[in-house]
Amino acid sequence: MALWSRLFNRPSAAPRNATQQDGGGVLITNSADLDQYLKDGSTTKAGMVVTPDTAMRNGAVYACVRLLSGPQATLPLQIKRRVDEKTRADASDTPIWKVINRKPNRWQKPHQFKRMMAAHVLLRGNAYALKVMSRGELQGLIPLNPDRTKTVQNDDMSLTHQYTSPTGRRIDFKQDEIFHLYGLTLNGYEGVTPITFARETIGLALAQEDYGATTFKNGARTPGTLTHPAKLGEDAQRLLKASLDEYRAGGDSEGKFLILEEAMKFERLGMTAVDAQWIESRKLSRSDIAMFYGVPPSMIGDNSGSDSNWGTGLEQKANGFVTFTLEDYLTMWEEGITIDLNSDPDIYARYNRAALVKGDLNARWNAYVRGLQWGVWSPNEVRALEDQNPREGGDIFYPPPNTAGASADAGASKGTGQ
Protein backbone atom coordinates (compact mmCIF):
# COMPACT_ATOMS: atom_id res chain seq x y z
CA MET A 1 0.00 0.00 0.00
CA ALA A 2 2.89 2.33 0.81
CA LEU A 3 4.34 1.76 -2.68
CA TRP A 4 1.11 2.75 -4.50
CA SER A 5 0.75 5.71 -2.16
CA ARG A 6 4.18 6.98 -3.11
CA LEU A 7 3.39 6.68 -6.81
CA PHE A 8 -0.16 7.89 -7.21
CA ASN A 9 -1.38 9.79 -4.11
CA ARG A 10 -1.66 13.53 -4.46
CA PRO A 11 0.42 15.69 -2.14
CA SER A 12 -1.41 16.93 0.93
CA ALA A 13 -0.01 20.44 0.68
CA ALA A 14 -1.42 22.86 -1.88
CA PRO A 15 0.86 23.47 -4.88
CA ARG A 16 2.85 26.66 -4.81
CA ASN A 17 2.24 28.17 -8.23
CA ALA A 18 4.27 31.29 -7.55
CA THR A 19 7.55 29.54 -6.66
CA GLN A 20 9.98 27.26 -8.39
CA GLN A 21 13.10 25.28 -7.57
CA ASP A 22 16.53 26.89 -7.66
CA GLY A 23 18.24 27.15 -10.99
CA GLY A 24 16.12 29.71 -12.84
CA GLY A 25 13.55 29.08 -15.51
CA VAL A 26 12.17 30.15 -18.86
CA LEU A 27 9.83 33.12 -19.21
CA ILE A 28 6.90 32.20 -21.49
CA THR A 29 4.69 35.08 -22.53
CA ASN A 30 2.88 33.77 -25.62
CA SER A 31 2.05 30.62 -27.54
CA ALA A 32 5.12 30.96 -29.80
CA ASP A 33 7.41 30.95 -26.76
CA LEU A 34 5.65 27.88 -25.40
CA ASP A 35 5.92 26.07 -28.74
CA GLN A 36 9.64 26.85 -29.02
CA TYR A 37 10.26 25.71 -25.43
CA LEU A 38 8.47 22.41 -25.98
CA LYS A 39 10.41 21.78 -29.21
CA ASP A 40 13.79 22.89 -27.84
CA GLY A 41 16.47 20.32 -28.59
CA SER A 42 14.26 18.29 -30.91
CA THR A 43 13.75 20.56 -33.92
CA THR A 44 16.06 19.64 -36.79
CA LYS A 45 17.51 21.79 -39.53
CA ALA A 46 14.97 20.25 -41.88
CA GLY A 47 12.27 21.87 -39.74
CA MET A 48 10.90 18.57 -38.38
CA VAL A 49 10.42 17.87 -34.67
CA VAL A 50 12.09 14.55 -33.85
CA THR A 51 10.91 12.82 -30.70
CA PRO A 52 10.68 9.08 -29.94
CA ASP A 53 7.04 9.16 -31.01
CA THR A 54 7.58 11.03 -34.27
CA ALA A 55 10.68 8.95 -35.07
CA MET A 56 8.61 5.75 -34.94
CA ARG A 57 6.51 7.11 -37.83
CA ASN A 58 9.52 6.59 -40.05
CA GLY A 59 9.56 3.10 -41.53
CA ALA A 60 13.31 2.57 -41.06
CA VAL A 61 13.23 3.53 -37.36
CA TYR A 62 10.17 1.36 -36.72
CA ALA A 63 11.78 -1.61 -38.47
CA CYS A 64 15.03 -1.25 -36.48
CA VAL A 65 13.18 -1.03 -33.15
CA ARG A 66 11.00 -4.01 -34.07
CA LEU A 67 13.99 -6.15 -35.09
CA LEU A 68 16.07 -5.31 -32.03
CA SER A 69 13.33 -5.52 -29.40
CA GLY A 70 11.87 -8.81 -30.64
CA PRO A 71 14.72 -11.20 -29.69
CA GLN A 72 15.14 -9.50 -26.31
CA ALA A 73 11.52 -10.44 -25.54
CA THR A 74 11.23 -13.84 -27.22
CA LEU A 75 14.53 -15.61 -26.52
CA PRO A 76 14.35 -17.97 -23.50
CA LEU A 77 15.78 -16.13 -20.49
CA GLN A 78 17.15 -18.63 -18.00
CA ILE A 79 18.07 -18.12 -14.35
CA LYS A 80 21.04 -20.28 -13.33
CA ARG A 81 22.74 -21.15 -10.06
CA ARG A 82 26.47 -21.83 -9.67
CA VAL A 83 26.78 -25.05 -7.68
CA ASP A 84 30.57 -25.11 -7.82
CA GLU A 85 33.33 -23.92 -10.12
CA LYS A 86 32.26 -26.19 -12.98
CA THR A 87 28.64 -27.08 -12.26
CA ARG A 88 25.54 -25.04 -13.04
CA ALA A 89 21.95 -25.85 -12.08
CA ASP A 90 18.55 -24.54 -13.12
CA ALA A 91 17.13 -21.89 -10.77
CA SER A 92 13.60 -21.56 -12.12
CA ASP A 93 12.29 -21.91 -8.55
CA THR A 94 13.54 -18.42 -7.66
CA PRO A 95 11.25 -15.35 -7.47
CA ILE A 96 13.36 -13.65 -10.17
CA TRP A 97 12.50 -16.32 -12.73
CA LYS A 98 8.81 -16.13 -11.90
CA VAL A 99 8.70 -12.33 -12.27
CA ILE A 100 10.73 -12.21 -15.50
CA ASN A 101 9.18 -15.22 -17.23
CA ARG A 102 5.69 -15.55 -15.76
CA LYS A 103 4.16 -12.40 -14.29
CA PRO A 104 6.13 -9.15 -14.11
CA ASN A 105 3.15 -7.16 -12.81
CA ARG A 106 -0.64 -7.18 -12.61
CA TRP A 107 -1.39 -6.14 -16.19
CA GLN A 108 1.51 -7.17 -18.42
CA LYS A 109 2.63 -10.48 -19.83
CA PRO A 110 6.39 -11.26 -19.84
CA HIS A 111 6.75 -10.72 -23.59
CA GLN A 112 4.96 -7.37 -23.46
CA PHE A 113 7.02 -6.18 -20.50
CA LYS A 114 10.40 -7.15 -21.97
CA ARG A 115 9.61 -5.77 -25.42
CA MET A 116 8.36 -2.48 -23.96
CA MET A 117 11.51 -2.12 -21.83
CA ALA A 118 13.67 -2.88 -24.87
CA ALA A 119 11.81 -0.26 -26.92
CA HIS A 120 12.33 2.30 -24.15
CA VAL A 121 16.09 1.71 -24.34
CA LEU A 122 16.13 1.93 -28.14
CA LEU A 123 14.02 5.09 -28.32
CA ARG A 124 14.81 6.89 -25.08
CA GLY A 125 18.13 5.42 -23.96
CA ASN A 126 16.84 4.19 -20.60
CA ALA A 127 14.23 1.79 -19.22
CA TYR A 128 13.07 1.94 -15.60
CA ALA A 129 10.96 -0.39 -13.49
CA LEU A 130 10.15 -0.07 -9.80
CA LYS A 131 10.89 -3.22 -7.82
CA VAL A 132 8.01 -4.53 -5.71
CA MET A 133 9.57 -6.29 -2.72
CA SER A 134 8.02 -8.38 0.05
CA ARG A 135 10.06 -9.93 2.86
CA GLY A 136 13.22 -9.38 0.89
CA GLU A 137 11.97 -11.16 -2.24
CA LEU A 138 11.08 -9.69 -5.61
CA GLN A 139 7.33 -9.81 -6.29
CA GLY A 140 6.93 -7.65 -9.38
CA LEU A 141 8.24 -4.87 -11.61
CA ILE A 142 6.24 -1.70 -12.28
CA PRO A 143 7.47 0.11 -15.45
CA LEU A 144 8.10 3.82 -15.11
CA ASN A 145 7.80 6.31 -17.96
CA PRO A 146 11.40 7.15 -18.94
CA ASP A 147 10.27 10.63 -20.02
CA ARG A 148 9.28 11.25 -16.41
CA THR A 149 12.40 9.71 -14.88
CA LYS A 150 15.87 11.20 -14.49
CA THR A 151 18.96 9.62 -12.98
CA VAL A 152 21.37 11.84 -11.03
CA GLN A 153 24.63 10.98 -9.31
CA ASN A 154 25.02 12.14 -5.72
CA ASP A 155 28.16 13.46 -4.06
CA ASP A 156 28.88 10.01 -2.59
CA MET A 157 28.69 8.49 -6.11
CA SER A 158 25.39 6.75 -5.38
CA LEU A 159 22.48 7.19 -7.77
CA THR A 160 19.03 8.66 -7.28
CA HIS A 161 16.20 8.11 -9.75
CA GLN A 162 13.91 11.16 -9.78
CA TYR A 163 10.42 10.25 -10.98
CA THR A 164 7.61 12.71 -11.60
CA SER A 165 4.26 11.04 -10.92
CA PRO A 166 1.13 11.64 -13.05
CA THR A 167 -0.05 14.02 -10.33
CA GLY A 168 3.05 16.19 -10.78
CA ARG A 169 4.77 15.16 -7.53
CA ARG A 170 8.47 14.29 -7.66
CA ILE A 171 9.49 11.04 -5.98
CA ASP A 172 13.12 10.13 -5.34
CA PHE A 173 13.95 6.43 -5.51
CA LYS A 174 17.19 4.94 -4.28
CA GLN A 175 19.43 3.02 -6.62
CA ASP A 176 18.45 -0.38 -5.19
CA GLU A 177 14.73 0.35 -5.64
CA ILE A 178 14.87 0.58 -9.44
CA PHE A 179 15.56 -1.93 -12.20
CA HIS A 180 17.48 0.22 -14.67
CA LEU A 181 18.42 -0.86 -18.20
CA TYR A 182 20.59 1.24 -20.51
CA GLY A 183 23.06 0.56 -23.29
CA LEU A 184 25.56 3.07 -24.60
CA THR A 185 26.36 5.68 -21.96
CA LEU A 186 28.59 8.74 -21.93
CA ASN A 187 28.44 9.55 -18.21
CA GLY A 188 28.32 6.04 -16.76
CA TYR A 189 24.82 6.09 -15.27
CA GLU A 190 22.41 7.24 -18.01
CA GLY A 191 22.04 5.79 -21.48
CA VAL A 192 21.87 7.55 -24.81
CA THR A 193 19.78 6.51 -27.77
CA PRO A 194 20.61 6.52 -31.50
CA ILE A 195 17.85 9.14 -31.89
CA THR A 196 20.02 11.55 -29.88
CA PHE A 197 22.71 11.52 -32.55
CA ALA A 198 20.63 10.53 -35.57
CA ARG A 199 18.17 13.38 -35.01
CA GLU A 200 19.17 15.25 -38.18
CA THR A 201 19.09 12.07 -40.28
CA ILE A 202 15.66 11.11 -38.97
CA GLY A 203 14.44 14.68 -39.35
CA LEU A 204 15.57 14.67 -42.98
CA ALA A 205 13.77 11.35 -43.57
CA LEU A 206 10.58 12.71 -42.02
CA ALA A 207 10.84 15.87 -44.12
CA GLN A 208 11.25 13.77 -47.27
CA GLU A 209 8.17 11.74 -46.40
CA ASP A 210 6.24 14.92 -45.70
CA TYR A 211 7.37 16.38 -49.02
CA GLY A 212 6.34 13.24 -50.90
CA ALA A 213 2.97 13.04 -49.17
CA THR A 214 2.24 16.70 -49.89
CA THR A 215 3.30 16.29 -53.50
CA PHE A 216 0.99 13.35 -54.08
CA LYS A 217 -1.85 15.01 -52.19
CA ASN A 218 -1.74 18.16 -54.27
CA GLY A 219 -0.79 16.45 -57.52
CA ALA A 220 2.04 18.96 -57.84
CA ARG A 221 4.26 16.70 -59.91
CA THR A 222 3.72 17.55 -63.56
CA PRO A 223 3.41 14.37 -65.67
CA GLY A 224 3.62 16.34 -68.92
CA THR A 225 2.92 19.61 -70.70
CA LEU A 226 0.03 20.91 -72.83
CA THR A 227 0.80 22.99 -75.89
CA HIS A 228 -1.60 25.05 -78.02
CA PRO A 229 -0.90 26.21 -81.56
CA ALA A 230 -2.30 29.66 -80.82
CA LYS A 231 -3.17 31.66 -77.69
CA LEU A 232 -5.87 30.68 -75.21
CA GLY A 233 -8.25 33.30 -73.98
CA GLU A 234 -9.19 33.77 -70.35
CA ASP A 235 -12.45 31.81 -70.67
CA ALA A 236 -10.68 28.95 -72.42
CA GLN A 237 -7.97 28.88 -69.74
CA ARG A 238 -10.60 28.80 -66.99
CA LEU A 239 -12.52 25.95 -68.62
CA LEU A 240 -9.31 23.99 -69.25
CA LYS A 241 -8.21 24.42 -65.65
CA ALA A 242 -11.59 23.26 -64.35
CA SER A 243 -11.45 20.25 -66.65
CA LEU A 244 -7.95 19.31 -65.51
CA ASP A 245 -8.86 19.71 -61.82
CA GLU A 246 -11.82 17.41 -62.29
CA TYR A 247 -9.67 14.91 -64.19
CA ARG A 248 -7.01 14.84 -61.42
CA ALA A 249 -9.59 14.53 -58.63
CA GLY A 250 -9.70 10.75 -59.01
CA GLY A 251 -12.89 8.75 -58.72
CA ASP A 252 -14.54 7.69 -61.98
CA SER A 253 -12.13 9.79 -64.05
CA GLU A 254 -9.06 7.95 -62.74
CA GLY A 255 -7.15 6.21 -65.54
CA LYS A 256 -9.32 7.51 -68.39
CA PHE A 257 -8.02 9.36 -71.43
CA LEU A 258 -7.80 13.14 -71.35
CA ILE A 259 -9.69 14.71 -74.28
CA LEU A 260 -7.98 17.81 -75.65
CA GLU A 261 -9.60 20.45 -77.83
CA GLU A 262 -8.46 23.07 -80.33
CA ALA A 263 -5.49 21.01 -81.61
CA MET A 264 -3.81 20.95 -78.22
CA LYS A 265 -1.00 18.44 -77.75
CA PHE A 266 0.19 16.55 -74.67
CA GLU A 267 3.89 15.81 -74.21
CA ARG A 268 4.94 13.44 -71.39
CA LEU A 269 7.87 14.41 -69.18
CA GLY A 270 10.37 11.87 -67.90
CA MET A 271 11.56 11.73 -64.29
CA THR A 272 13.18 15.02 -63.39
CA ALA A 273 16.54 15.34 -61.68
CA VAL A 274 14.75 16.58 -58.57
CA ASP A 275 12.59 13.45 -58.46
CA ALA A 276 15.61 11.18 -58.94
CA GLN A 277 17.56 13.00 -56.23
CA TRP A 278 14.61 12.74 -53.84
CA ILE A 279 14.40 8.96 -54.35
CA GLU A 280 18.14 8.51 -53.87
CA SER A 281 18.15 10.69 -50.74
CA ARG A 282 15.38 8.57 -49.24
CA LYS A 283 17.48 5.45 -49.83
CA LEU A 284 20.47 7.14 -48.21
CA SER A 285 18.37 8.15 -45.18
CA ARG A 286 17.21 4.56 -44.68
CA SER A 287 20.78 3.28 -44.83
CA ASP A 288 21.98 5.96 -42.39
CA ILE A 289 19.24 5.13 -39.86
CA ALA A 290 20.05 1.41 -40.14
CA MET A 291 23.72 2.26 -39.56
CA PHE A 292 22.93 4.19 -36.36
CA TYR A 293 21.03 1.18 -35.00
CA GLY A 294 23.58 -1.37 -36.25
CA VAL A 295 21.05 -3.23 -38.41
CA PRO A 296 21.89 -4.48 -41.92
CA PRO A 297 19.84 -2.36 -44.37
CA SER A 298 18.55 -5.49 -46.11
CA MET A 299 16.90 -6.60 -42.85
CA ILE A 300 14.67 -3.50 -42.89
CA GLY A 301 13.72 -3.96 -46.53
CA ASP A 302 16.42 -1.77 -48.11
CA ASN A 303 18.01 -3.94 -50.80
CA SER A 304 19.74 -1.10 -52.63
CA GLY A 305 23.12 -2.06 -51.14
CA SER A 306 25.01 -5.31 -50.78
CA ASP A 307 25.89 -5.29 -47.06
CA SER A 308 29.24 -6.62 -48.19
CA ASN A 309 30.91 -5.81 -44.87
CA TRP A 310 28.88 -8.56 -43.17
CA GLY A 311 28.76 -10.95 -46.12
CA THR A 312 26.35 -11.38 -48.99
CA GLY A 313 24.34 -14.39 -47.81
CA LEU A 314 21.39 -14.25 -45.44
CA GLU A 315 23.17 -16.46 -42.91
CA GLN A 316 26.27 -14.24 -42.85
CA LYS A 317 24.14 -11.12 -42.35
CA ALA A 318 22.14 -12.76 -39.56
CA ASN A 319 25.32 -13.92 -37.81
CA GLY A 320 26.82 -10.44 -38.07
CA PHE A 321 23.65 -8.87 -36.72
CA VAL A 322 23.64 -11.22 -33.71
CA THR A 323 27.37 -10.86 -33.01
CA PHE A 324 27.87 -7.14 -33.46
CA THR A 325 24.48 -5.67 -32.51
CA LEU A 326 22.05 -7.97 -30.70
CA GLU A 327 24.67 -9.39 -28.32
CA ASP A 328 25.10 -5.98 -26.74
CA TYR A 329 21.42 -5.79 -25.75
CA LEU A 330 21.28 -9.41 -24.53
CA THR A 331 24.27 -8.75 -22.26
CA MET A 332 22.53 -5.59 -20.99
CA TRP A 333 19.55 -7.69 -19.83
CA GLU A 334 21.71 -10.43 -18.31
CA GLU A 335 23.83 -8.04 -16.27
CA GLY A 336 20.84 -5.89 -15.31
CA ILE A 337 18.89 -8.86 -13.93
CA THR A 338 21.92 -10.39 -12.23
CA ILE A 339 22.93 -7.16 -10.48
CA ASP A 340 19.71 -5.14 -9.99
CA LEU A 341 17.24 -7.94 -9.19
CA ASN A 342 19.42 -10.35 -7.28
CA SER A 343 21.53 -10.36 -4.12
CA ASP A 344 22.76 -13.96 -4.33
CA PRO A 345 26.24 -14.02 -5.94
CA ASP A 346 25.62 -17.57 -7.21
CA ILE A 347 22.47 -16.65 -9.17
CA TYR A 348 22.80 -15.20 -12.65
CA ALA A 349 20.69 -14.66 -15.80
CA ARG A 350 21.52 -16.18 -19.17
CA TYR A 351 19.79 -15.99 -22.56
CA ASN A 352 19.58 -19.21 -24.54
CA ARG A 353 21.16 -17.94 -27.74
CA ALA A 354 20.77 -21.34 -29.40
CA ALA A 355 17.08 -20.48 -29.85
CA LEU A 356 18.08 -17.93 -32.50
CA VAL A 357 18.30 -20.80 -35.00
CA LYS A 358 15.01 -22.34 -33.94
CA GLY A 359 13.46 -21.42 -37.28
CA ASP A 360 16.20 -23.27 -39.17
CA LEU A 361 15.38 -26.94 -38.61
CA ASN A 362 18.40 -28.22 -40.52
CA ALA A 363 20.92 -26.02 -38.66
CA ARG A 364 19.34 -26.83 -35.30
CA TRP A 365 19.49 -30.59 -35.74
CA ASN A 366 22.99 -30.50 -37.18
CA ALA A 367 24.06 -28.73 -33.98
CA TYR A 368 22.31 -31.38 -31.87
CA VAL A 369 24.01 -34.23 -33.73
CA ARG A 370 27.44 -32.67 -33.31
CA GLY A 371 26.79 -31.94 -29.66
CA LEU A 372 25.79 -35.56 -29.05
CA GLN A 373 28.65 -36.91 -31.12
CA TRP A 374 31.30 -34.98 -29.24
CA GLY A 375 29.84 -35.53 -25.80
CA VAL A 376 28.77 -31.92 -25.25
CA TRP A 377 25.10 -32.83 -24.67
CA SER A 378 23.30 -35.89 -23.43
CA PRO A 379 20.16 -37.10 -25.24
CA ASN A 380 17.97 -35.81 -22.42
CA GLU A 381 19.56 -32.36 -22.63
CA VAL A 382 18.73 -32.26 -26.33
CA ARG A 383 15.17 -33.33 -25.55
CA ALA A 384 14.93 -30.57 -22.97
CA LEU A 385 15.98 -28.00 -25.60
CA GLU A 386 13.08 -29.27 -27.74
CA ASP A 387 10.70 -29.09 -24.76
CA GLN A 388 10.42 -32.91 -24.61
CA ASN A 389 10.32 -35.12 -21.53
CA PRO A 390 13.47 -37.10 -20.65
CA ARG A 391 13.74 -40.77 -21.57
CA GLU A 392 15.15 -43.61 -19.56
CA GLY A 393 18.89 -43.97 -20.02
CA GLY A 394 19.13 -40.61 -21.74
CA ASP A 395 21.52 -38.97 -19.29
CA ILE A 396 24.64 -40.58 -20.77
CA PHE A 397 27.35 -38.71 -22.66
CA TYR A 398 28.82 -40.38 -25.71
CA PRO A 399 32.65 -40.35 -25.95
CA PRO A 400 34.08 -38.30 -28.83
CA PRO A 401 34.88 -40.54 -31.82
CA ASN A 402 38.56 -39.63 -32.05
CA THR A 403 39.18 -40.56 -28.39
CA ALA A 404 37.06 -43.70 -28.16
CA GLY A 405 39.96 -45.98 -29.08
CA ALA A 406 42.34 -44.24 -26.73
CA SER A 407 39.88 -44.60 -23.84
CA ALA A 408 39.45 -48.29 -24.55
CA ASP A 409 43.22 -48.84 -24.72
CA ALA A 410 43.64 -46.96 -21.46
CA GLY A 411 40.99 -49.12 -19.80
CA ALA A 412 42.63 -52.29 -21.11
CA SER A 413 45.99 -51.16 -19.79
CA LYS A 414 44.54 -50.52 -16.36
CA GLY A 415 42.93 -53.95 -16.39
CA THR A 416 46.28 -55.71 -17.00
CA GLY A 417 48.01 -53.77 -14.29
CA GLN A 418 50.53 -52.16 -16.63
> Per residue in 204-242, pLDDT tens?
666 666 655 655 555 444 555 666 677 766 777 777 777
The C-alpha atoms of residue 243 and residue 237 are separated, in whole angstroms, by 10
pLDDT score recorded for residue 326: 92
pLDDT(384) > 90 = no
Lowest-confidence region among 52-56, 136-140, 212-216: 212-216
Q: How confident is the model at residue 352 (pLDDT cuts 50, 70, 90)?
A: confident
DSSP classification of residue 186: S
The C-alpha atoms of residue 377 and residue 97 are separated, in whole angstroms, by 24
CB atoms closer than 10 angstroms to residue 342: 18
Q: How confident is the model at residue 276 (pLDDT cuts 50, 70, 90)?
A: very low
Q: Reduced to 3 states, what is the DSSP secondary structure of residue 174?
A: strand
pLDDT(365) > 90 = no
Lowest-confidence region among 152-156, 173-177, 350-354, 402-406: 402-406
pLDDT score recorded for residue 248: 59
- The whole-model pTM stands at 0.69
As separate numbers, helices (DSSP H) first and strands (DSSP E) second, the chain gives 15, 11
Q: Where are the alpha helices (DSSP H) in 225-340?
A: 234-248, 273-293, 314-321, 327-340
User: Element (H or E) spanning 159, and its range?
Assistant: strand 159-164
The pairing of strands 149-153 and 159-164 is: antiparallel
Q: How confident is the model at residue 409 (pLDDT cuts 50, 70, 90)?
A: very low
The pairing of strands 137-144 and 149-153 is: unpaired
pLDDT score recorded for residue 113: 97
Higher pLDDT, 42 or 246: 246
Q: How confident is the model at residue 22 (pLDDT cuts 50, 70, 90)?
A: very low
Instruction: Give Cβ neighbours of residue 49 (< 8 Å, ≥ 6 apart).
Output: 39, 42, 43, 203
pLDDT(154) > 60 = yes
Burial (CB count within 10 angstroms: exposed 0-12, middle 13-18, buried 19+), residue 297: buried
pLDDT score recorded for residue 91: 92
**Chain mean pLDDT for the chain:** 76
pLDDT score recorded for residue 418: 39
Instruction: Give Cβ neighbours of residue 299 (< 8 Å, ≥ 6 apart).
Output: 63, 67, 290, 317, 321
| Average pLDDT for 73-92 | 90
Under 8 Å between Cβ of 68 and 295? yes
Instruction: Give Cβ neighbours of residue 57 (< 8 Å, ≥ 6 apart).
Output: 206, 209
pLDDT score recorded for residue 200: 65
Q: Using one digit for the tens of pLDDT, what is the confidence trace for 317-334?
A: 777 888 888 999 999 999
CA distances from 373 to 59, 72, 357, 362, 368 (A): 46, 31, 20, 16, 8
| Average pLDDT for 336-345 | 92
Nearest to 41 by CA among 149, 203, 155: 203
Q: How confident is the model at residue 71 (pLDDT cuts 50, 70, 90)?
A: very high
Higher pLDDT, 126 or 356: 126
DSSP classification of residue 49: B
